[in-house]
Structure formats: structure tokens, C-alpha cells
Amino acid sequence: MASVNSERAGYVLANDEEMNRLSTQHYVIKDAMGGLLMVPVDHTTEGLRILDSGTADGTWISDLQSTMSSKTTFTGTDIDPSKFPSSSSPGTTFQVQDINGSWPAAWQNNFDIVHQRLTLAAAGPATKVAVHKLATLLKPGAWIQLIEPENVLDDKQGPAMHDFVRLMQDIFSVMGTSLNLGRDLAPMLHEEGFVDIQERVVILQMGPHNKNPDLGRQGAKSTAIACAGLVQFASISPPTDCSLPESRTP
């Protein structure tokens, strides 16, 4: 991830339950996508080098490893090393990295797959620059998989969910970025000269909308944890930074 210029935004994003939320969210997203990797790469290929940017505790890496060749090497990066696992399997390393910072020179043209999920907003207004830096890490002919939100609500969503998204928009605005970065990914990749750009929209099913009761509960739990952080943001924000009326916040 990246450092956040706004102290208030950083406070919300770094709350103690954030790792619990991310771990829970991982399996809901995996279910919606039908897997972890959408890029057309043979998982049995030996010697692949895979980077997971914004790895947090490395859940994505540890889940993917069982499907890949034992000779695949994984690198996980994040700005906060306190979340890295205390031990890792052979071929896996973790390193501190700010997505707004300079990446190691030895990593240029080095990876077969670069993966980043729900992390680009941490770049603030420098999202295009952050994507460019990720692109330089890829070997010629390699793949990048970026996953970002596009928050579209329909009539089935109640007022609480609409308030949730509204507060999300407020905090992303403070960070200098957009809540709907998913719409910007394909144009940014095109500008970087990528070819065979594929775009896929998946819907995260939360609560009773998910046919799997356990995943439904996990999705609801993840949203509840995020909502608690947003309420903190609203409580310490000046009125000009929070568009939700005070009567709509707990």
C-alpha cells in the first residue's frame, strides 16, 4: 500500500480490526471471481515469479500457492510489515514497499505476474503513476491483474448501505482519489501500452444475497468492520468533509 497524507484517513484505514476484515473479504472476493487468478497462465509452469502488491498478511499468496508449481516464487509487499506472517514457506518473501515509492531496481522487468487488489486508492491522486511503476516490474509478455471497486447500488440495497457508500466516497475524497477506480483501470493500462486488456465485473454477494450462508456472514462481517471505521472518520471530520447528516451517523 502507500502512505496516506490525511491523518484522519490513515487512522480509519489502519484500525485494529482491518486485518480481520481483509482476511474475511478475501474469501468473499475469491468466491465472486471463481478463483484468484484470471490471467491465462498455466499454473503448472515452473519458475514463475509472482508479486502481490498490498499483500497485508499474505492471505492471497498462501491461498494461491497450493494451485501453483512448487518452483513458483512469490513476493509480497506492503507498507506495514507488522502484518507480515511470522513465517513463510520456501520461495516466498515479504518486503516493505510503498506503492508511491521507488521499487527496487533489481525488480524491473522481473515478474511474470503482478497482482494488486483494492490497494490503488492508497496512492491518492497518483494512481496513474502507481500503475506505471507496477508495469515496469513486468517481464515482456507478462501479466498484471488489478482489482478495484465500482460501487453501484440498486434499489435492493437499503438506506444503511447507501449511507455506507456515501461515507466511503467522503473518505476517498479526503485521500484525493475515487471510489470507483475499477472504471479507470482499462484506460490506464491502455496508456501504458498493454495489449490483450480484459475487463471483468463481478458482484460481491453480501449477507442473505450470497447462496453460501457462511460466505454471506463473512461478507456482512467484513462490511460491518469497515462501517465502524467509517463512523470513526465521520465523528472526527469537519462537517465539510462528511456529506452524511449527523443524524444519519451513530
Q: Is 83 exposed, middle or buried (0-12, 13-18, 19+ CB in 10 A)?
A: middle
More confident position, 77 or 8? 77
Q: What is the DSSP letter of 149?
A: -
Grid cell at residue 246: 449527523
Query: Which residues are registered as beta bridge partners of 77?
Result: 53, 95
* E strand or H helix that includes residue 112: strand 111-117
Q: pLDDT value at position 247? A: 59
In whole angstroms, what is the distance from residue 177 CA to residue 78 CA?
A: 19
**Would you say residue 61 has pLDDT above 90?**
yes
Element (H, E) at 24: helix 18-33
pTM of the complete model:
0.87
pLDDT band at residue 138 under the 50/70/90 scheme = very high
Q: Which residue has the higher pLDDT, 114 or 11?
A: 114
Q: What is the pLDDT of residue 8?
A: 41
Q: How far is CA 77 from CA 60, 65, 247, in A?
A: 12, 16, 40
Most confident of 22-36, 108-122, 173-187: 108-122
175-214 residue pLDDT tens:
888 889 999 999 999 999 999 999 999 988 888 888 888 8
Mean pLDDT of the chain: 87
Domains of the chain: 7-248 (3.40.50.150)
Going by C-alpha positions, the residue among 58, 59, 129 that lies closest to residue 93 is 58
CA separation, residue 165 to residues 21, 157, 173, 215 (Å): 17, 11, 12, 21
| Residues in a beta bridge with 146 | 116
- Lowest-confidence range among 33-37, 132-136, 245-249? 245-249
Q: Which pLDDT value is given to residue 2? A: 39
Alpha-carbon distances of 58 from 55, 116, 200, 233, rounded to whole Å? 5, 12, 24, 27
Q: What is the largest CA-CA distance in the chain?
A: 57
Best-predicted range by mean pLDDT (37-46, 213-222, 228-237): 37-46
Q: Identify the pLDDT of residue 30.
A: 94
Quote the CA–CA distance of 216 and 223 in Å, as a whole number: 11
pLDDT top residue among 166 and 32: 32
Q: Which residues contact 82 (CB under 8 A, 6 or more apart)?
A: none
Task: Quote the CA–CA distance of 164 and 228 in Å, as a whole number.
Answer: 10
